């Protein structure tokens, strides 16, 4: 009868499909890495010694490793603890939140090294991709797109579906990144466009196709408890604190990285205050909502992804943060419920407000700041370095650059929406082990769960038990039977 | 009736005051940053290119960013996760602990950039403040003073009051820092004096003025539960682990930063053992107390704030740690209860034992180590560099320097006490939305709380429910109505 | 009666023994540090100025501090948060997991500085040990051996016993490290042999000697609850994310550190996928087990400890990770239960599968990769640098080196097993305060525990209570008495 009401009965049995996907794809990675991936000249033992000689470098500190490794580790923390724990907020889907995030990021970064390598680092002579620390950062970035999409799907899909989301997500990412960064020659070091806009709309489009009309059958589990909100706060804070590293990780050495950190730091701080303000205003009793504090405070980092490396000025950064806190919190208060009711768009984590809209805004902010860049502010050399105006781009004017930046944002939106719809239809095949509408947001579907907390004997009773037993074992056993 | 007994009925409605304060102050930040704040020559695109030419620098690695960024990120983690999660230990004030910490640090660091800039980095020609990575570290440090004060007030004040505490706290900090570091020309890289002594006494003085005679009405919530103690342990450990970065973040490049890390690392390790020892001795059954482990183990980091950059020797560091663990744990066992009973001083987190006393000790340890510094140990060049004995300080003897260091500690205490009393009286106006005596330590006052944990249907019952439903939906619905 | 059945009644009273051990040993540290430990030439103020002059160094960035400090802080996080929180997974031993980890690491690192100093850094002229940032990393590494051993003993020993385990563990570590790295001249930067193989077998041997036939009396507490598994996941992820820093922390500057990071990063990613696959296959319903995700995903980091700095190639790293995920998860599924039943080996955290076996594998992988190293791949200079083939090792062939690497692994196993058995017998003296068989895995033994969670008044009832009280205080008091 249930099947009649709610469509064909779903089955969350993944004992065949998940191991199969993991094994086959991981073996494919081994083969493809064997054929294509090699160390670059700064990580190869022989290569680095030759590089030092040919470039007349005397100190190992000039290795790109020392410019980027601290940022890389911060980005790595954001991907695994940041995104992972931000998604532990549901009362009974914390294992799935942090666990599946772990799985798909671990797969995604390997696939990203290949996909990004083919598009950006394939040596035409040797046919090999060479990787170094910057490749690892880019691979982590590339995963982020799919992890953002996971935010919209949280609790409603199986891990096998998530692997599919990641496989296509990384592939689409590499293509749109190639178009935006190489063909349009945009700058987007922190990925407002290529990561957040793309990832946000990709996830929203998938979720739209996978709309579940009876999702309210799982309503009782679609919420947090006190301690799950604190776990999510760990993720939120690590994202917030390390976002300056995220945006600066692959910017230019020297003043480039330095300035990007300052701009992101200021925008994020400003965003916190307006988030608290709107969160309090949005509720009759003026109470704050943890969902806003965990998410909307991060919107400024997203929106500074493109412009943070430009000379946006410190107060420009603060203004961007100011607006983002307002827009994002409004989104959580009014837009997400509206989208669910009117557009049939179920967005578990509200990525529309944290990634899609702030990312798009960030793309346009970047376009404006680029269009208004002058030699007076950057210096001649600085303008060329910051926007990479060498080779065939040597004559591009700044207003043209701004136009291309805006165009890049549109490319990211288009890739996200079209790609997401296609992937969404693939995910509707009834073979992926996703849960029924009344079994969403529940770790019970895919995880061996420990017994419940109440099985711990309370301390006092236990102590009495101990005392009794030492006096008279039999009596205490009787009392246990009685209770 | 309650109102008659406990004074005028308090009202925690902050829907007007909190947004107003956040918006107005954040808009003030935008304006002031627009007027005053600019990139410094190492983060400005044009400036850095010119700096490199004028200083004959060939490599970007010489940018101060690469000397300080890893330490900056560690300090940033300490401020937001360290302080924030250390204050989640209360069973029902964890949201307030980590959430309000987030709010006031985000405001405080912006205001600190301005206040510290006006005192230390205002260009007399352009009238601008220039900022770089060291400014960000100092801004984080400056916030720490107010966050320490929050520790004494935790659970008893409204977020609006905390914004006021931070506004004045940062202002007072900038002034006392100017007096201690510039006028008295003390050295205090890790802030034993300017951060911990000031912040500790500032918070204690405020708490003393805000004494609540009927606070025991909230006694049932003034304690931890098992998992809230674990959340607090996350904060404690991140503070403990990153304290070497805290003390070394703005010390001299090279041996200065290197030595500061070693000294702080050793003192902290030593402190852990004596904390465990006293904690066990302090209880009849010899059991350990999580409060001590979370807090007293950190006292060594506080006490090494001044002396860690000096040649205190490794065993000197260990001795300082040894003593701090004992003193701080004794404080938690005996002094805090004494202060509450006799001095009417309610100190939720025990900042007296973690910041005020160890900070003061650290100031005097620094004075002694400075007074005994010799050219034989530091070398001529090293002595000048370590104590900044250039310009008008070129003839200052080391014993004079020691005297000034001791005087600096007294300045910090005085600023904390006097400033705290004044701010305390401001906070007594009945307009700030602080909770009534029987409503303290309760997130219910300012946060939308999720439903309670017990509303999660137990796994077994839920499974039965599933099985039933698939057999006969109606029957299971009946049984639901019955229960 | 209980005593008759279960042996002499155990007593967990440690109010004398724990403080005594902490105080006496810490005072010994003060004395020994005073006699032996000094700053090295890169952290000494005078020394560094002279070093710069004598080595013609112009920039402070050449100080080893800047090559190693970011990795050091990551390792520090792994030791205290990584190991500490990984051991919070038990429902009622989380305080002991993270707390005793904290205690023994803080003692162990001090003792390690001395022990490793005497073996590796004792100046024959001055009789002093000089320490710098690399010494701190090595001290943290040395602790790791004892912390691994703690994993096998978790919940079954007293903190005093753990101090003994650490005292001997660090001592044995320093000796076997001296034999393996200095006498056999093996390379083992990430410690597959010296840390993981030794630590794993050391812990297993101790646990074997301390076998408790009636441990099932504590069975009800030997498991996790939902939120304790999430705390453990924090530890697991910080270990996973920072393992590239662990393996690269003391490798050669430049390409050495760079390549080690890449190799470890790839192996870990690969390991995640095979762990998920086997975990799902290993259970009838195909559900995932958090124990596997928390532990087996880390095995690749352990197994890459020796080979990561070699030119193992990216796909070689992925293959190692692939195999480790399978082997380690199989271990958790089948080997640990087998060892407990057949070999009477109780291994709480399963260190056999996470450290002992992967570490041993890592030793042999390292031997194979070393034996197959050629001048063609490394370059002449690179081969000498990577394997340290200078001085009396200048003529050692690579196949000989491989043989010595394999021999080193055997030395580590032997030291672990023999040392562990000896220490185990010492721990069987009935003076250490370890818990009875029915009192294991219980923080109640050594910690002041907070009251239970259910004592928090539910929000609704509390609100009613408030309303009542404001209307009629007496009535609400009556109702409280009745309930």
Q: Give the pLDDT confidence of A137-152 residue by residue, as tens digits.
A: 999 999 999 999 999 9
C380 interface with B at CB cutoff 8 Å: no
Rounded to two decimals, the ipTM of the complex is: 0.92
What percent of chain B has a predicted confidence (pLDDT) above 90?
Answer: 89
pLDDT at site A9: 65
Q: How far is C163 from chain A (nearest CA, A)?
A: 27
C130 interface with B at CB cutoff 8 Å: no
Angle between helices C398-427 and C198-209 (to 10 degrees): 30
pLDDT at site A325: 97
pLDDT at site A59: 93
Q: Which among B132, B129, B78, B86 is positioned nearest to B105, based on CA atoms?
A: B78
Q: What are phi and psi of B271, to 5 degrees?
A: -60, -35
Q: At residue B470, does pLDDT exceed 60? A: no
Looking at chain B, which subunits does it touch, using at least 3 CB pairs closer than 8 Å as the criterion?
A, C
pLDDT at site A482: 37
C39: enclosing H helix or E strand: strand C37-39
pLDDT at site B453: 57
Mean of pLDDT values over A13-42 = 96
pLDDT at site A29: 97
Q: How many residues comprise chain B? A: 483
With a cut of 70, list the residues of chain C below it in pLDDT.
Answer: 1-9, 452-483
Q: CA-based diameter of chain B, in Å?
A: 94
Query: Three-class SS of residue C129?
Result: strand
Q: How many CB contacts within 8 angstroms connect chain A with chain C? A: 239
Determine whether the interchain pair A18/C274 forms a contact, defined as Cβ–Cβ distance below 8 Å.
no
Task: Tally Cβ neighbours within 10 Å of residue C285.
Answer: 12
A238 interface with C at CB cutoff 8 Å: no
Q: At residue A126, does pLDDT exceed 60? A: yes
Task: Tally Cβ neighbours within 10 Å of residue A449.
Answer: 18
A243 interface with B at CB cutoff 8 Å: no
B238 interface with C at CB cutoff 8 Å: yes
Task: Tally Cβ neighbours within 10 Å of residue B24.
Answer: 11
Q: Are B51 and B57 in contact (CB under 8 A)?
A: yes
Q: CA dist C425 to C83, C141, C422, Å?
A: 26, 26, 5
Q: At residue A424, does pLDDT exceed 70? A: yes
Q: What CA–CA distance (Å, rounded) separates B365 from C382? A: 48
Q: What CA–CA distance (Å, rounded) separates A337 from A382? A: 46
Chain A contacts in chain B segment 429-448 (CB below 8 A):
446-448
Determine whether the interchain pair C379/A81 forms a contact, defined as Cβ–Cβ distance below 8 Å.
no
Question: What is the CATH T-level fold of the domain B71-444, as seen in this structure?
Answer: Ammonium transporter fold (1.10.3430)
Angle between helices C398-427 and C380-387 (to 10 degrees): 10
Q: Are C207 and C345 in contact (CB under 8 A)?
A: yes
Task: Tally Cβ neighbours within 10 Å of residue B65.
Answer: 27
Domain ranges of chain C: 71-444
pLDDT at site B456: 53
Q: Are C300 and C329 in contact (CB under 8 A)?
A: no
pLDDT in tens, B372-400: 999 999 999 999 999 999 999 999 999 99
pLDDT in tens, B108-166: 999 999 999 999 989 999 999 999 999 999 999 999 999 999 999 999 999 999 999 99
Q: Which of A388-392, B218-222, B228-232, C457-461: highest mean pLDDT?
A: B228-232
Q: Which among C396, C405, C393, C395 is positioned nearest to C369, based on CA atoms?
A: C405
| CA closest to B258 among chain C residues | C43
Q: What CA–CA distance (Å, rounded) separates B165 from B416? A: 12
Q: Which among C334, C236, C337, C250 is positioned nearest to C293, based on CA atoms?
A: C236
Residues of A with CB below 8 A from B468's CB? Answer: none
Q: How far is B245 from chain C (nearest CA, A)?
A: 9
Which of C77, C450, C459 lies nearest to residue B225, judging by beta carbons?
A: C450
Interface test with C, best of B218, B288, B297 (most C CBs within 10 A): B288
B254 interface with C at CB cutoff 8 Å: yes
A44 interface with C at CB cutoff 8 Å: yes
pLDDT in tens, B442-454: 999 999 999 765 5
DSSP 8-class letter at A286: -
pLDDT at site A453: 57
A479 confidence band (pLDDT: 50, 70, 90) = very low
Tokens of residue C453, six digits: 């969670």
Q: At residue A480, does pLDDT exceed 80? A: no
Task: Tally Cβ neighbours within 10 Å of residue B188.
Answer: 27
pLDDT at site B464: 43
Residues of A with CB below 8 A from B63's CB? Answer: 253-255, 258
- Which residues on adjacent β-strands are paired with residue C187? none
Q: Which among A73, B250, B317 is positioned nearest to C136, based on CA atoms?
A: B317
Q: What CA–CA distance (Å, rounded) separates B131 from B116? A: 10
pLDDT at site C282: 94
Q: At residue A478, does pLDDT exceed 70? A: no
Query: Three-class SS of residue A447?
Result: strand
Choice among A328-337, A463-472, B148-157, B329-338 with the minimum mean pLDDT: A463-472
Q: What CA–CA distance (Å, rounded) separates B281 from C15? A: 5
pLDDT at site B468: 41
Roughly how many angstroms between the first and final C-alpha of chain A, as a whole number? 40
Residues of C with CB below 8 A from A457's CB? Answer: 220
Tokens of residue A131, six digits: 């990787």
Which of A22, A85, A452 lies nearest to residue C273, judging by beta carbons?
A: A22
Mean of pLDDT values over A247-253 = 97
Q: What CA–CA distance (Å, rounded) separates B212 from B202? A: 18
Determine whether the interchain pair A278/B106 forms a contact, defined as Cβ–Cβ distance below 8 Å.
no
| CA closest to A377 among chain B residues | B46
Q: What CA–CA distance (Å, rounded) separates A23 from A229? A: 34
pLDDT at site A483: 34
Query: Three-class SS of residue C20?
Result: helix
Residue that the structure tokens 């539910």 belong to: C458
pLDDT at site C129: 97
- Coarse DSSP helix, strand, coil percentages of chain C, rounded to the nearest 5 percent: 75, 0, 25
- Which residues on adjacent β-strands are paired with residue A131? A39
Q: How far is B254 from chain A (nearest CA, A)?
A: 14
A8 confidence band (pLDDT: 50, 70, 90) = low
What percent of chain B has a predicted confidence (pLDDT) above 70?
Answer: 92
Looking at chain C, which subunits does it touch, using at least 3 CB pairs closer than 8 Å as the criterion?
A, B
Q: At residue B472, does pLDDT exceed 80? A: no
Tokens of residue C417, six digits: 């097993």
Q: At residue A481, does pLDDT exceed 60? A: no
**Average confidence score pLDDT of chain B:** 92
pLDDT at site C11: 87
| CA closest to C3 among chain A residues | A470
pLDDT at site A456: 53
Residues of A with CB below 8 A from C448's CB? Answer: none
**Average confidence score pLDDT of chain A:** 92
Determine whether the interchain pair C262/A50 forms a contact, defined as Cβ–Cβ distance below 8 Å.
no
Choice among A2-16, B45-59, B461-475, C312-326 with the minimum mean pLDDT: B461-475
Looking at chain A, which subunits does it touch, using at least 3 CB pairs closer than 8 Å as the criterion?
B, C
Task: Please list, in sequence order, all residues whose beta carbon lies within 8 angstroms of the beta carbon of residue C261, skipping any fewer than 6 positions away.
Answer: A65, A69, A133, A136, C244, C245, C247, C248
């Amino acid at each position: 009868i249930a099947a009649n009401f709610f469509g064909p009965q779903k089955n969350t049995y993944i004992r065949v499909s998940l191991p199969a996907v993991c094994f086959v794809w991981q073996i494919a990675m081994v083969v493809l890495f064997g054929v294509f991936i090699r160390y670059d000249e700064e990580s190869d033992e022989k290569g680095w010694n030759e590089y030092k000689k040919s470039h007349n470098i005397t100190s190992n500190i000039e290795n790109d490793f020392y410019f980027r490794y601290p940022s890389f580790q911060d980005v790595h923390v954001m991907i695994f603890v940041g995104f992972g724990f931000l998604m532990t907020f549901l009362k009974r889907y914390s294992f799935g939140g942090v666990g599946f995030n772990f799985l798909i990021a671990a797969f995604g970064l390997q696939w990203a090294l290949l996909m990004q390598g083919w598009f950006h680092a394939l040596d035409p002579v040797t046919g090999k991709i060479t990787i170094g620390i910057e490749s690892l950062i880019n691979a982590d970035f590339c995963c982020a797109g799919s992890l953002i999409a996971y935010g919209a799907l949280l609790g409603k899909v199986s891990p096998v579906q998530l692997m599919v989301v990641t496989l296509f997500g990384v592939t689409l990412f590499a293509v749109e990144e190639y178009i935006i960064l190489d063909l349009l020659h945009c700058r987007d070091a922190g990925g407002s466009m290529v990561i957040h806009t793309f990832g946000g709309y990709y996830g929203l489009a998938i979720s739209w196709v996978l709309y579940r009309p009876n999702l309210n059958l799982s309503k009782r589990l679609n919420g947090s408890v006190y301690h799950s909100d604190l776990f999510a706060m760990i993720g939120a804070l690590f994202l917030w604190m390390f976002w300056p590293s995220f945006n600066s990780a692959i910017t230019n050495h020297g003043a480039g990285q330095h300035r990007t950190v300052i701009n992101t730091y200021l925008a994020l701080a400003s965003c916190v205050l307006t988030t608290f303000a709107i969160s309090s205003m949005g509720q009759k009793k003026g109470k704050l909502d943890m969902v806003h504090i965990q998410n909307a405070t991060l919107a400024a980092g997203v929106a500074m992804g493109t412009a943070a490396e430009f000379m946006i000025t410190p107060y420009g950064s603060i203004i961007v943060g100011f607006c983002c806190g307002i827009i994002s919190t409004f989104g959580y208060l009014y837009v997400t419920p509206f989208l669910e009711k009117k557009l049939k768009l179920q967005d578990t984590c509200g990525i529309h407000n944290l990634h899609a809209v702030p990312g798009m805004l960030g793309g346009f902010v970047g376009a404006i700041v680029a269009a208004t860049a002058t030699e007076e502010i950057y210096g001649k050399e600085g303008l060329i370095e910051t926007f990479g105006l060498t080779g065939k781009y040597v004559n591009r004017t700044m207003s043209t650059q701004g136009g291309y930046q805006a165009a890049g944002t549109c490319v990211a939106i288009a890739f996200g929406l079209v790609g997401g719809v296609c992937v969404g239809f693939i995910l509707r095949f009834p073979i992926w082990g996703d849960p029924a509408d009344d079994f969403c947001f529940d770790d019970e579907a895919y995880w061996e769960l420990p017994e419940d907390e109440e099985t711990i004997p309370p301390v006092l009773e236990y102590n009495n038990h101990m005392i009794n037993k030492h006096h008279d074992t039999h009596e205490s056993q009787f009392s246990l039977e009685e209770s």
